C-alpha cells in the first residue's frame, strides 16, 4: 500500500474547488486537448461508454484509456490528478469479458439472484437487467459465498493486476452500490419480495473485503451511494431512511480503509421523494461523513460550454452553479480532498473548465453552522457562504483580498500610463500578487498597473504623477481596463 493515497487530500486545500472530470470517448482514446483539460482536474476518469459499448470489450478499452491518461500525466509532470475507471457493482455486465464468461455459463447459476416468488427455487428465473448494448444481464447474489469469491477474484482481481492501475494515483468508480432499495432495483424481479436486510448486510460484508483488497493494491474505490447515516435525520420530520440498513453499518465495516463517497444527483437522490428535507439530509450526511474521515465527491447538473463571465471581488459569486458551489463549500473538508463534478451527461463534451474553478475562497474558518433544519452558513478567509435548500438558494459573497504589506487597496479603472513605465513585464501573470512580488524586487518600483479581467498584463512604474482614471462603465466594471496599486517600501532603520 506504499502508493495508496487520495491525491485531492494529499495536495492540500489551496482555497480553490477541486474539480472532478468524469467523461468518455466512445470512438477511442482521449485527444491531447482532452488530456490537457483532464490534467487541470483533481480527479479524472472514464465511464462505461469509453471506447464504445460492445460485449466483452469493456476491461480492455478502459485499461487502454487509463494507461494513455497515465502516460500523458507522467509526461507533463502531473502528480496531482487522480485517475479512475468504471465498474458496475449490482449487475454482472456483459460489457466486461470476465462477467460475460460467468453470465454465459449455466453452471454458475448460484452466482445470481432469482425470482423469490417462485415456489421451486431450482426453477426460479434469473433476475435480469436490460443494458444499453442489448443484453439481459444477471444481478449478483452476494449472499452466496461463491458469488463473492468470483467477484473478488475475477473482477476486482483483474483491477489489482492491470498494469494501467499500478504506480499510484489509481481509483475505481463503482456504480449503483446501493441504488433504490439499497442493493437492488428494476430488472425482471420484484425486489420488494427479497429479504432486504440480509441482502444489504451481505453486500456490506462483500464491500469490506473488496475495499481491503483494492487498498492492498494501492487503489482507492469511489462508491456511488444513496444511503445515509442515521444522524442525518436529525431536525427533519418529513423524511424516512431509504434503506433496510443505515450507512452506519457500511462505515463500521470500512473503518480504517481508504475510500470515497460519490453523490450522483447532489443534493438529491434516486428513487425516493425529492425536496427540501431530502436535500437537507444529504447536506448533513456529507458533513457527518467528513467528520468520520470519509472524502466526498459531489456531482450536480450543468451544461458546457460554461457561461463566459468575469467574477468580481469583492462581490457576489453569482452564476448558474452558485447554489452547488455554496453547498460544496458548506460540506467540504479541507483535509480530506472533497471534490465537485458538474455535467449533464458522461461524455468528454459534457465537461469543461468553469470560471468558478479559478476562484480563491480562502481557508475555512471553522465548520459549517446549521442555522435552521434547512439552512447553513460558513465563513472562509476570502468568502462568506450561505445555503438554503428549502428555496434552492446559495449565496457566496467574495471578500476583497487583503493587501500585501506595504501595498495600497486597489485603485480601479486607473492607469499610470501618462508616466513612463519602469518595466513592462507583459501578459499572463496569474495574479495581482505575482505582479506585486515582481515590483518588490525592483528597487525603484512604487506602482503597478495590472489588467485583472483581460490578459493579466503587468507593468511596473517608479511614479504615477498623473493618474488616468475612467468611469466604471467605460472600463467594463471595477476590474476592467487597468487597476493601479501603490507600494510603500519599509523605512530603513539606521
Last residue of a domain, one of 359, 374, 389: 359
Q: Report yes or no on 460 lying in a domain.
A: yes
Distance from C-alpha of 357 to C-alpha of 395, rounded to nearest angstrom: 16
- Within the chain, how many helices (H) and strands (E) appear? 12, 21
Of the ranges 29-33, 109-113, 190-194, 357-361, which one carries the lowest mean pLDDT score?
190-194
- Name the CA radius of gyration of the chain, rounded: 26
Q: Mean pLDDT over residues 128-132, rounded? A: 91
Confidence of residue 183 (pLDDT cuts 50, 70, 90): low
Which residue is listed with cell 449503483? Answer: 176
- For residue 179, is pLDDT > 90? no
Which candidate, 338, 307, 337, 339, places its Cα nearest to that of 321? 307
Whether 233 and 303 map to the same domain: the answer is yes
* pTM attached to this predicted model: 0.83
Are 260 and 171 a contacting pair, CB within 8 Å? yes
Of 177-181, 200-204, 419-423, minimum mean pLDDT range: 177-181
d(CA 217, CA 152): 13
d(CA 454, CA 456): 6
Last residue of a domain, one of 319, 342, 359: 359
SS3 393: strand
Sign of CA dihedral 367, 368, 371, 372: negative
The C-alpha atoms of residue 494 and residue 483 are separated, in whole angstroms, by: 35
Residue at 143 is within a domain = yes
Q: Mark whether 232 and 311 lie in a shared domain.
A: yes
| 31 within some domain | yes
173, 40: one domain = yes
Alpha carbon distance 45, 48 (integer Å): 10
433 confidence band (pLDDT: 50, 70, 90): confident
**Separation of alpha carbons 389 and 42, rounded Å:** 27
Query: Quick one: which of 437, 432, 438, 460 has its CA closest to 447?
Result: 460
The pLDDT-based confidence of 494 (bands split at 50, 70, 90) is very low
DSSP state of 28: S
pLDDT in tens, 271-311: 777 899 999 999 999 999 999 999 999 999 999 999 989 89
- pLDDT for 480: 72
Same domain for 344 and 435? no
Please write down the long-range contacts of 487-493, taking CB distance under 8 Å and 24 or more positions apart: 487/406, 487/407, 487/408, 487/436, 487/439, 487/440, 487/445, 487/446, 487/447, 487/448, 488/406, 488/407, 488/408, 488/446, 489/406, 489/446, 490/406
> Does some domain include residue 364?
no
Other C-beta atoms lying within 10 Å of the C-beta of residue 438:
16
CA atoms within 13 A on the CB side of 286: 32
Residues for the chain: how many in total? 494
Indicate if 309 and 195 belong to the same structural domain: yes
The percentage of residues in the chain with a pLDDT greater than 70, rounded to a whole number, is: 96
278 within 8 A of 259, measured Cβ to Cβ: no
Mean pLDDT of 328-340: 96
Asked if residue 418 and residue 324 are part of one domain, the reply reads: no
One domain for residues 335 and 478: no
Chain centroid to Cα 150, Å, comes to: 31
Residue 213 counted as domain residue: yes
Are 223 and 140 within one domain? Answer: yes
What does the block give as the cell for 220? 482507492
381 falls within a domain: no
Of the candidates 147, 174, 135, which has an alpha carbon nearest to the alpha carbon of residue 55? 135
Q: Note whether 173 and 282 are same-domain residues.
A: yes
Instruction: Work out the average pLDDT over 254-274.
Output: 92
Q: How many CB atoms lie within 10 A of CB 469?
A: 14
DSSP state of 55: T
Same domain, 466 and 352: no
Residue 271 DSSP one-character state: S
Residue 182 banded pLDDT, cuts 50, 70, 90: low
Q: Is residue 494 part of a domain?
A: no
pLDDT number for residue 479: 62
340-373: pLDDT as tens digits: 999 999 999 999 999 999 999 999 998 999 999 9
Q: What does the mean pLDDT of the chain come to?
A: 92
Please report which helix (H) or strand (E) contains residue 207, including its range.
helix 196-216
Q: Is 390 inside any structural domain?
A: no
Q: Are strands 369-372 and 339-342 parallel, antiparallel or unpaired?
A: unpaired
Specify whether 428 is located in the same domain as 347: no
The residue range of the domain holding 464 is 414-486
All cell numbers assigned to 281: 439530509
Average pLDDT over residues 422-439: 90
Residue 250's domain is classified under what CATH number? 3.20.20.60
* Domain end point (choices 359, 374, 406): 359
Question: What does DSSP say about strands 82-88 and 43-46: parallel, antiparallel, or unpaired?
Answer: parallel
Residue 476 has pLDDT above 70, yes or no: no
The span from the CA of 395 to the CA of 388, in Å, is 9
The CATH number of the domain holding residue 472 is 3.50.4
**Counted domains in the chain:** 2
Same domain, 353 and 447: no
Amino acid at each position: 500500500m506504499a502508493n495508496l493515497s487520495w491525491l485531492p487530500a494529499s495536495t492540500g486545500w489551496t482555497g480553490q474547488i477541486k474539480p472532478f472530470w468524469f467523461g468518455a470517448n466512445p470512438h477511442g482514446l482521449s485527444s491531447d486537448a482532452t488530456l490537457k483539460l483532464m490534467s487541470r482536474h483533481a480527479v479524472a476518469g472514464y465511464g462505461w461508454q469509453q471506447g464504445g459499448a460492445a460485449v466483452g470489450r469493456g476491461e480492455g478499452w478502459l485499461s487502454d484509456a487509463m494507461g494513455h491518461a497515465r502516460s500523458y500525466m507522467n509526461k507533463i509532470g502531473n502528480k496531482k490528478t487522480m485517475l479512475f475507471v468504471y465498474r458496475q457493482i449490482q449487475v454482472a455486465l456483459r460489457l466486461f469479458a470476465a462477467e460475460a464468461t460467468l453470465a454465459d455459463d449455466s453452471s454458475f447459476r448460484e452466482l445470481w439472484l432469482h425470482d423469490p416468488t417462485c415456489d421451486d427455487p431450482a426453477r426460479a428465473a434469473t433476475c435480469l437487467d436490460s443494458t444499453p448494448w442489448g443484453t439481459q444481464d444477471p444481478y449478483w447474489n452476494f449472499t452466496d459465498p461463491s458469488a463473492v469469491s468470483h467477484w473478488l477474484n475475477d473482477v476486482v482481481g483483474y483491477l489489482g493486476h492491470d498494469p494501467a492501475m499500478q504506480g499510484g494515483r489509481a481509483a475505481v468508480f463503482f456504480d449503483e452500490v446501493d441504488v433504490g432499495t439499497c442493493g437492488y432495483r428494476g430488472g425482471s424481479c420484484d425486489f420488494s419480495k427479497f429479504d432486504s436486510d440480509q441482502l444489504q448486510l451481505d453486500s456490506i460484508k462483500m464491500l469490506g473485503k473488496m475495499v481491503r483488497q483494492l487498498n492492498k493494491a494501492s487503489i482507492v474505490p469511489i462508491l456511488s451511494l444513496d444511503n445515509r447515516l442515521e444522524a442525518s435525520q436529525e431536525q427533519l420530520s418529513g423524511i424516512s431512511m431509504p434503506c433496510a440498513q443505515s450507512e452506519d453499518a457500511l462505515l463500521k465495516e470500512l473503518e480504517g480503509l481508504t475510500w470515497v463517497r460519490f453523490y450522483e444527483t447532489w443534493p438529491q437522490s434516486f428513487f425516493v421523494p425529492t425536496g427540501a428535507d431530502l436535500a437537507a439530509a444529504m447536506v448533513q450526511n456529507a458533513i457527518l461523513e467528513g467528520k468520520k474521515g470519509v472524502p466526498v465527491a459531489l456531482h450536480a447538473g450543468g451544461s458546457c460550454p460554461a457561461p463566459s463571465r468575469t467574477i468580481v471581488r469583492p462581490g457576489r459569486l453569482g452564476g448558474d452553479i452558485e447554489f452547488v458551489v455554496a453547498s460544496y463549500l458548506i460540506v467540504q473538508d479541507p483535509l480530506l480532498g472533497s471534490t465537485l463534478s458538474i455535467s449533464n451527461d458522461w461524455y468528454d463534451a459534457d465537461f469543461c473548465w468553469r470560471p468558478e474553478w479559478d476562484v480563491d475562497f480562502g481557508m475555512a474558518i471553522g465548520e459549517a453552522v446549521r442555522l435552521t433544519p434547512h439552512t447553513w452558513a460558513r465563513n472562509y478567509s476570502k468568502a462568506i457562504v450561505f445555503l438554503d435548500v428549502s428555496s434552492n438558494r446559495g449565496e457566496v459573497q467574495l471578500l476583497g483580498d487583503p493587501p500585501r504589506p506595504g501595498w495600497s487597496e486597489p485603485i480601479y479603472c486607473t492607469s499610470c500610463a501618462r508616466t513612463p513605465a519602469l518595466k513592462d513585464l507583459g501578459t499572463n501573470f496569474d495574479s495581482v500578487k505575482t505582479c506585486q512580488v515582481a515590483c518588490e524586487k525592483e528597487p525603484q518600483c512604487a506602482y503597478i498597473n495590472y489588467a485583472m479581467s483581460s490578459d493579466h498584463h503587468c507593468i511596473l512604474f517608479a511614479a504615477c504623477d498623473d493618474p488616468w482614471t475612467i468611469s466604471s462603465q467605460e472600463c467594463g466594471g471595477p476590474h476592467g481596463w487597468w487597476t493601479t496599486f501603490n507600494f510603500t517600501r519599509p523605512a530603513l532603520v539606521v
